[in-house]
Structure 1
């Protein structure tokens, strides 16, 4: 029931490929912002500036942007190395601009953190760390800028060394904090998106399996007409050839095989018709049995406790998500149980409850607080296949989509092990519509 790790790896890699158009638009924003700032400082405030050098640096960024827009389509996605090189170029251009306009005394010096934040939000850790190191070198470089900050021509703006050190420390601290925060947020978002994509994939597979009976009936219907034609032609050939020994056995074989094919298709059609009600509607007891059946051969004793009578039990639409979700919870319980797993089912007029208990070590306190997050893979200081990882996240997501409420807990001091309780409103489990 687990999703293959290769699929998750491919999803994770694809989510790290940023669109070139995103970088292009950010660069145009930088070009406009830098140009506006230079014009305001030089002509609005009349501060002395090296206008030609500033114009060359801003123009270099604009020309690079025009080249990228002409060379690549708007939908092109950058691999991590390409994105890192482009961000490093942007960082170098901004560093040079700040270096000739006052260095750390320039109030826009903290903008040097922007490229680092973008990298940590969109690129793998290795590439982001490389850009972070480069950014730290750039910040340190502008700290030694010999150029004064633009100010009134007849005044000087003295900046003490201790202020420069404080500004350098604040920029580095902001860079590190913002980079860590951006990485954690984007990493968790990517994990959640990948896990939800895997959930959809699993649900589609389960629905595909549940629809195979319909495909069999359709195949029987479509093949029935040509097989009937073959059978009629075989009968005509048998009658025309009479006692011709050369073809009599071949024609008889052709006719018998066509009749055999028709019998097989007839059984497929009747199987679909006879089992249609069972496949579309599933009583609670049948649902529990279908979930438990694949796990009876693993050396762990499975015990079913039905607290409510089967008369009047809910009969709902067959839901692949519910079957998969409960099956995954039971798989986790079997994986961590020592000897037995107990499944308790009960229902009344208001709700339907299914409880799964094992006699293992139970949940560690730190894991219990994080259950339901993707890629949580440990219980009591151990990691095992089929444990609390992506499978549990998928199960929890599918069951909650079906309207269920889940709770996870340890059984308590009197009994070792873990307990998962799944509760649905009775109206949902009695739904006769297909999901």
Structure 2
């Protein structure tokens, strides 16, 4: 049995491949057990809607491989009960470095009466092979590359030799149904689903193919242009496991584009992504101010009492009520599209530090907004990005200035040199149905 959690796909999924290979060795059928619950950390209606959109692809692709797929939901979500029902011989799970998911696996391992194996299915290089927290991209990069020959290879996607046939009376939801899987759950429904992304492996593969054909060649010159489609926009799909890093990396490697473009993109999708996952795996304080480096804590402490010429409350920031219409545009993109270009995420977080009464308040605000609105929030990448912006994670000291100390500063003028900021602002204000020109009238705390 494959206990599906993080890697929500039946294609290029190393954990599922191990489950199928084990089933074939034992001459047994293989089944996927997927059971969404309402208490997944910080998840709301937006996240569950995207998750549900991916379910048909999982079921259909599993069926193509003669693998069973059983969908249940809270309160009928018990892994232990399902294992007893189908008389499971072995359970395979996918690893997730987030603390709550680790606890769930530990509890399951104690209660199960059969072995539980786990596979690090959403990285190229399993985190445990690196042994400890890595402190910079330049350090982890060669250590990752040392494993590429062995691990950056196509997934086998084996078929099950014994086809799954559900026993009569086995309870399962109709994955083809249109009913809301969250019906009756007490979850946050204030954050609505978005039209800008549609979940599922097939949509992720379509976006990847489109990017490789039309966007990859110009990636080095465009990836900092927030007003252009300069990125693959795959982060929500990687977060939910609708697509895996092997699929993305190998598609890029097979493309006929300049080596520079390949290396630039792969550095983002492998080096920086797996650096973030490594941080979460080895640092239990990954979503707090305390995950930062000592030099960053020292400099922020030295400047903690610096005057803040402009302060905004977390509620004002959430409502995009600042004097800076570029920052407002980024916040509006987060709220209404569930996504934000990576360059703007850095600018967004650093301005929160500048406008908050303390680094602690800034950090808490950034994490709260990240987890609530982003489709790819609640993810190592999001936490690592906030840590980089506010507490110097993976960075170095820069020239000192008020409030920031030696934390790297980002100015609006830098963004305006990289892309058409006015175009971006106009697009995001239009997306939110918001009129420009009234932002300076928003209340400010001095």
Give the TM-score taking structure 2 as reference length. Answer: 0.23
Of Structure 1 and Structure 2, which has the larger fraction of its residues in strand?
A: 1
Of Structure 1 and Structure 2, which has the larger fraction of its residues in helix?
A: 1
Q: Does 1 or 2 have the higher relative contact order (CA < 8 Å, sep 6+)?
A: 2
